Amino acid sequence: MNDSNIVWHDHHVSKSERSEQKNQKACVLWFTGLSGSGKSTIANALESKLYEMGKHTYLLDGDNVRHGLNKDLGFSDQDRIENIRRIGEVSKLFVEAGLITVTAFISPFRSDRKIVRDLVESGEFIEVFIDTPLEICEQRDPKGLYQKARKGEIPTFTGISSPYEHPVSPDIHIQTAHHSVEESVSSIIEYLSQKGYLDASTH
Amino acid sequence: MNDSNIVWHDHHVSKSERSEQKNQKACVLWFTGLSGSGKSTIANALESKLYEMGKHTYLLDGDNVRHGLNKDLGFSDQDRIENIRRIGEVSKLFVEAGLITVTAFISPFRSDRKIVRDLVESGEFIEVFIDTPLEICEQRDPKGLYQKARKGEIPTFTGISSPYEHPVSPDIHIQTAHHSVEESVSSIIEYLSQKGYLDASTH
């Protein structure tokens, strides 16, 4: 029955309501670092730990973005910028959804990371530098990419034929040569806890 | 300390774990209908109701997508297809995050809606047809768009100069000429409840 006398209050569920419902403060933990630096490993371990703690998270990485949303993009400079732009915009949506969002992409350029930082509100962007020396990354070479890059089979490869601009003042600095995955996760959790992200009531 | 003897179990938080944590089954409620049909109003009211029920949702609509992720897209046929493709891919990510995801876009073409349905798993895509006669939409004309379209100021406008392909067998069919917003929301909630989306333990 169409009763036009009913006044429907046009309520939108707010970002803070979505965060509070999950007893946390939404943010994006933006991991940056060389290929093979350990971004995905630490990001997955962090997510598992946060899940155990009852926190609501989501991880954006090459696995779920490259073959889906960004499958139309290649590796030209323009496409790499567009790749990060879209990931930034999607991260913003996940933050609005109230989730602790983790992203694991090389994201080598300061300007691109700044674009994402500026997309979200102050305090919502947490830059996590996964700092592993190039020699170690190349030694690990989990996907055999460095070997290919050295042979010239990958024309632009970060750290070899394309620059990696390390963060000047990352919010969290993880040196994997000196810390295990477990220690790295603990230090990120401690940061989140101290800054009040793991409890909706703290400010 | 880098103790390479520590074996770190590489655990990924799964889609079902994310859903179960929220005591629900993730899905995408894909609203389709003419401009002015009531998609956004009903979608927001539905979200508010689900939020009151303690459910974890997110709404993708023009407000948060057009000026962000899809701000590079215009209204050519190609761009409209890309618009829906990206929204579909992002919906898929939100479903993987365990959320009951609601989208409110005209999405006039069956082929585009089918692409999205095929992106997600069986049972995760729920097509919601917001069925409002063109005459009523045009009479409401909340944004003055029909008036502009009739004057020829909008070259391709769904229902006027571009077709709307109504769903052949929508999962949920809402006829707004006969039902209030509140009734519409109730019928969607009933569908979700009966099909087990509001309880992680039902199958």
- Shortest CA gap B89–chain A (Å): 5
Among the options B107, B162, B184, B201, which is catalytic? B107
Which pair of tokens denotes residue A67? 């073959």
Query: Which phi and psi angles does B197 have, rounded to 5°?
Result: -75, -20
Which residues are CB-neighbours of B40 under 8 A, at least 6 positions away?
B61, B62, B104
Cβ(B46)–Cβ(B189) below 8 Å? yes
pLDDT the model gives residue B75 = 82
B150 falls in which pLDDT band (50, 70, 90)?
A: very high
Q: In this complex, is the C-beta atom of B7 within 8 Å of any C-beta atom belonging to chain A?
A: no
- Hunting for tokens 């879209």 — which residue is that? A86
ipTM of the modeled complex: 0.93
Cβ(A130)–Cβ(A172) below 8 Å? no
pLDDT the model gives residue A201 = 81
pLDDT digits (tens, 9 = 90+) for B115-137: 999 999 999 999 999 999 999 99
Average pLDDT in chain B = 92
Stretch B29-38: mean pLDDT, rounded? 97
Which residues are CB-neighbours of A138 under 8 A, at least 6 positions away?
A36, A146, A159
Q: In this complex, is the C-beta atom of B84 within 8 Å of any C-beta atom belonging to chain A?
A: no
Residue of A65, A180, A185, A187 best to disrupt the B interface, most CBs of B under 10 A: A180
Residue of B59, B89, B101 best to disrupt the A interface, most CBs of A under 10 A: B89
Show pLDDT as tens, one digit a residue, over chain A (203 residues).
344 434 445 679 999 999 999 999 999 999 999 999 999 999 999 999 999 999 999 999 998 999 999 999 988 888 989 999 999 999 999 999 999 999 999 999 999 999 999 999 999 999 999 999 999 999 999 899 999 999 999 988 999 999 999 999 999 999 999 999 999 999 999 999 999 999 988 65
Which pair of tokens denotes residue A11? 């309520």
Rounded Cα distance, B184 and B139, in Å = 20
With a CB-CB cutoff of 8 Å, which residues 35-74 of chain B face chain A? 41, 44-45, 47-48, 51, 54, 56-60, 64-65, 68-69, 72
Residue B6 has pLDDT above 60, yes or no: no
Q: In this complex, is the C-beta atom of B139 within 8 Å of any C-beta atom belonging to chain A?
A: no
Chain B residue with Cα closest to A22: B56
> What's the CATH superfamily of B15-194?
P-loop containing nucleotide triphosphate hydrolases (3.40.50.300)
- Hunting for tokens 């103790």 — which residue is that? B3
DSSP annotation of A153: S
- What does DSSP say about strands A172-175 and A100-104: parallel, antiparallel, or unpaired? unpaired
Q: What is the dihedral of CA B133, B134, B140, B145, to 10 degrees?
A: 150
pLDDT the model gives residue A50 = 98
pTM summary value: 0.94
Cβ(A167)–Cβ(A32) below 8 Å? yes
pLDDT the model gives residue A7 = 46
Contacts of residue A119 in chain B, CB cutoff 8 Å?
Answer: 68
Q: In this complex, is the C-beta atom of B133 within 8 Å of any C-beta atom belonging to chain A?
A: no
Looking at domain A26-194, its CATH architecture is 3-Layer(aba) Sandwich (3.40)
Which amino acid appears at position A75 of this protein?
A: F
Residue B181 has pLDDT above 50, yes or no: yes
Stretch B62-88: mean pLDDT, rounded? 92
With a CB-CB cutoff of 8 Å, which residues 13-42 of chain B face chain A? 13, 17-18, 21-22, 41
Is residue A193 annotated as a catalytic residue, yes or no? no
Q: Which of B39, B182, B35 is nearest to B104 (CA)?
A: B39
- Shortest CA gap B134–chain A (Å): 17
Chain A residue with Cα closest to B70: A86
DSSP-assigned states of every residue in B44-85 = HHHHHHHHHTT--EEEEEHHHHTTTTTTT--SSHHHHHHHHH
Which residues are CB-neighbours of A145 under 8 A, at least 6 positions away?
A35, A36, A154, A157
Contacts of residue A130 in chain B, CB cutoff 8 Å?
Answer: none
Which pair of tokens denotes residue A76? 């030209």
Percent of chain B with pLDDT over 90: 85
- Hunting for tokens 């170690």 — which residue is that? A136
Contacts of residue A92 in chain B, CB cutoff 8 Å?
Answer: 68
Least trusted range by pLDDT, from A58-62, A185-189, B144-148, B152-156: B152-156
- Shortest CA gap B84–chain A (Å): 11
